[in-house]
Amino acid sequence: MPPGPPGAPGAGRVLPCPVVLARLQLTLAALLGLLALALGGVLLFGGDEGTGARAPFTVGSSGFAGAVSPPGARAVDFRLQDQDGGPATLGEAQGRVRVLTFLYTTCEDTCPIAASQILGALEELGPEGEDVAALAVSVDPANDTAARARKFLLGRRLTGRMDFALGREAQLRPVWEAYGIQPQGVDDGGAAFDHSARVELIDKRGFRRVGFPLDQLNPDALAHDIRKLQAET
């Protein structure tokens, strides 16, 4: 379109060609579409540690993915109180496979990860997961209250699927020692140190069979080993 005569409105400006405008609109639409796809991919695959692609795992000569415990290592039972005031003990789940871990309610890194990995395994098992008894034992008795334990389980979608065993330090210390667990704490110099992060599988007869350090914990591997223990007679 030619410029208007001198003095006319818009004189001296060259208006964009309709074809150029159309191309600009198509380009902008394409860029917006790519951005939407990218955001969709992030939400689908990278939004939570419990979703998205899972790391592969390997099965050893024992047939288990986790580290096999020494033969005959019996799980030491205990009797504590759960988040709802009921008994928290391994003995009540005799005849079922049990998942035992050690957590604290105000943890913001390792404990939520471990809880989510356990939930992932239980969900992977489907209906078989409903017969698995999952129990977390407190490693920070000074701060692990019943209300905080309920909040922790609710936040990790484990209400009704895992119990949180609570107690005073004098009650919990024998449990920590029996399973080789270092509790959350502060050393003599005032520096905080982290608790031992591990998940153990206990078979139907009450023997410690498989252990997973947190850095080797994988929902599929955990589900594989639970399923193998469930198949034992």
pLDDT digits over 67-76, tens only?
999 999 999 9
Give pLDDT tens digits for 203-224. 999 999 999 998 889 999 999 9
CA nearest to 125, candidates 230, 227, 229, 228: 227
Give pLDDT tens digits for 33-61. 434 434 333 333 333 444 445 667 788 88
Across the chain, what does the average pLDDT equal?
80
**Residue 196, pLDDT score:** 75
Q: Please give the Cα distance from 228 to 66 (Å, whole number).
A: 12
**Residue 49, pLDDT score:** 42
Considering the entire predicted model, what is its pTM?
0.73
| pLDDT surpassing 50 at residue 117 | yes
